[in-house]
Amino acid sequence: MKTRAVILAGGEGTRLGVLTAKRTKPAVTFAGKYRIIDFTLSNCVNSNIFDVMIIAQYRPHSLIEHLGAGGPWDLNRDFTGGIRIYTPYKAPTSGWFNGTADAVQQNFSFIKHNNPETVLILSGDHVYTMDYEAMLRFHMEKEADLTIATIQVTREDASRFGIMQIDDEQRITSFDEKPKYPDGTNANMGVYLFNTNILNDALWEDHLDENSSHDFGKDILPKLIESKFNIYAYPYNGYWVDVGTINSYWQAQMDLLNHPPALNLHDRSWIIHTRTEERPPAYIENNAEVSNSLISDGCIIEDGAKVIHSILSPGVRVKSNAVIRDAIILTDGVINQGAIVERAILDKKVIVSEKARVGSMIKNKLLISMVGKGSVIPDGATIEAGAMIGTDVNPFDFATNIIQSGELLETKRQPNEL
């Protein structure tokens, strides 16, 4: 059966704070060397799906640069599929995407080109490893019109998801998007396998509905289930996380440091492919301490520095007697002599100057400090737990050397000065 995958990668990701100030959420770095979208893309190629469309919108430049022609995922193909990226375009009947269903509807003429029998709708901002081939087999066996991947969540978390009622044959009997009082724990993963004709009709009907928010979870799925189509739930039992908040983004990466890890990046039967920077091997000097951490290529950890339970992206430099603990440091960050970084996320090219402190460990409370891309923390400054520094902030922007918990410090310079 000919299947085309469509990855929705246009999310603004405002809940990720400064990490999405200059990039779309699927392009945010994860686990040192990957981007979030790498997991969905790798699931496709590992499932023998090589016909992939990506629909982008918010700040797509970093994403487009990362994807290139699709070579790292074996998607640089001209005639047997390959990767194609679509962004909004101005036309009499089109413009900015208004909801997930609208994004697919505006591009449906491209999606149905060459007549795929099924369309796999995916999110580009989830971290998981899933065999879509098994889901396709399930879909065919059930003679389904639509199959929705589901995962069990806790009762406490259920109100954050679309919740489904499912009968003994795995048929979905009801769908409630983010219910205030959920009556189940079968949650929508945002993985949909449609027969193309069903998707076409549903999108067009939704397009004509002036009262619709044009969202799959809020509009498309409930209406299809009410219409008594053959709609089934495909249960997924592996690791899956929506890294859409600061805490979930941080926690999902700390999960990689468990023994055994919640998600095994070393599984050679399911490789997570990415575009890797050409960097020399990591170098750890005498008397440096590195434990329970992921250290990427190009990192240098100097004499007396400590890196504990942390993740370093390529090119990070940790200078003498600096301490990093429970932190995520993105590409080319510099942690200078005597500085301390704890329970924090530092974006690319951040400099923490000598004897500065970013974040701290607070017992029984998870407060993540964040520093935006290209910012410089001055000598001796303290960024308290839960404080946030914007992008391109420099020492002249600091009126005080202490940025308090919950505070956001942004640069005072005009955009043309950056």
Q: What is the pLDDT of residue 273?
A: 97
CB atoms within 10 A of CB 87: 15
How many CA atoms does the CB half-sphere of 374 hold within 13 Å? 8
* Lateral strand order in the sheet of 311-312: 294-295, 311-312, 328-329, 344-346, 369-371, 388-389, 408-409
Q: Residue 215 pLDDT > 80, yes or no?
A: yes
Q: What is the pLDDT of residue 414?
A: 62
Contact 122, 5 (CB under 8 A): yes
Domain ranges in the chain?
A: 3-255, 283-417
Burial code (b: 16+ CB inside 10 Å, e: under 16) for 268-283 equals eeeebbbbeeeeeebe
Distance between CA atoms of 320 and 329, rounded to whole angstroms? 17
Instruction: Give the pLDDT mean for 381-409.
Output: 97
Q: What is the DSSP letter of 22?
A: S
Q: Residue 13 pLDDT > 80, yes or no?
A: no
Distance between CA atoms of 251 and 153, rounded to whole angstroms? 16
Torsion sign across C-alpha atoms 399, 400, 402, 404: negative
Output the 3-class SS for 319-357. CCCCEEECCEECCCCEECCCCEEECEEECCCCEECCCCE
Distance between CA atoms of 324 and 258, rounded to whole angstroms? 17
Burial of 101 (0-12, 13-18, 19+ CB in 10 A): buried
Beta bridge partners, 340, equal 323, 357
Q: Residue 353 pLDDT > 90, yes or no?
A: yes
Distance between CA atoms of 117 and 10, rounded to whole angstroms? 25
Distance between CA atoms of 213 and 70, rounded to whole angstroms? 32
Beta strands in 376-418 (DSSP E): 376-377, 382-383, 388-389, 402-403, 408-409
Cis, peptide link before residue 260, omega less than 30° from 0: yes
Q: What is the pLDDT of residue 417?
A: 45
Instruction: Determine the residue type at 343.
Output: R
Contact 336, 316 (CB under 8 A): no
Give me the chain's average pLDDT, please.
93
Element containing residue 127 per DSSP (H, E): strand 126-128
Instruction: Give the pLDDT mean for 78-82.
Output: 76
Q: What is the DSSP letter of 296?
A: -
Q: Residue 207 pLDDT > 50, yes or no?
A: yes
pLDDT tens sequence across 224-248 = 999 889 999 999 999 999 998 999 9
Contact 383, 371 (CB under 8 A): yes
- Percentage above 70 pLDDT, the chain: 97
Torsion angle defined by CA atoms of residues 107, 110, 115 and 119, in that order, rounded to the nearest 10 degrees? -40
Higher pLDDT: 13 or 181? It is: 181
Q: What is the pLDDT of residue 96?
A: 75
pLDDT tens sequence across 306-340 = 999 999 999 999 999 999 999 999 999 999 999 99
DSSP string, 183-251: S--EEEEEEEEEEHHHHHHHHHHHHH-TT----IIIIIHHHHHHTT--EEEEE--S-EEE--SHHHHHH
CB atoms within 10 A of CB 203: 21
Taking the model in full, what pTM does it have? 0.94
Residues 6+ apart with CB under 8 A from 90: none
Tokens read off for 12:
């603004």
The pair phi, psi for residue 242, each rounded to 5°, is: -90, 110
Q: What is the DSSP letter of 282?
A: P
pLDDT tens sequence across 259-296 = 999 999 999 999 999 999 899 999 999 999 999 999 99
Q: What is the pLDDT of residue 91?
A: 61
Instruction: Give the pLDDT mean for 374-382.
Output: 98
Least confident of 12-16, 356-360, 369-373: 12-16
Q: What is the pLDDT of residue 68?
A: 92
> In which band, very low, low, confident or very high, does the pLDDT at 418 lie, cut at 50, 70 and 90?
very low
Least confident of 6-10, 85-89, 312-316, 374-378: 85-89
Q: Residue 416 pLDDT > 90, yes or no?
A: no
Distance between CA atoms of 333 and 343, rounded to whole angstroms? 16
How many CA atoms does the CB half-sphere of 128 hold within 13 Å? 22
Instruction: Give the pLDDT mean for 352-378.
Output: 96
Q: 3-255 in CATH: which number?
A: 3.90.550.10
Q: What is the pLDDT of residue 95?
A: 66
* Domain 283-417 top-level CATH class: mainly beta
Higher pLDDT: 6 or 80? It is: 6
pLDDT tens sequence across 37-57 = 999 999 999 999 999 999 998
> In which band, very low, low, confident or very high, does the pLDDT at 391 lie, cut at 50, 70 and 90?
very high
CB atoms within 10 A of CB 169: 8
Least confident of 10-14, 21-25, 252-256: 10-14
pLDDT tens sequence across 127-163 = 999 999 999 999 999 999 999 999 999 999 999 899 9
Q: What is the pLDDT of residue 265?
A: 95
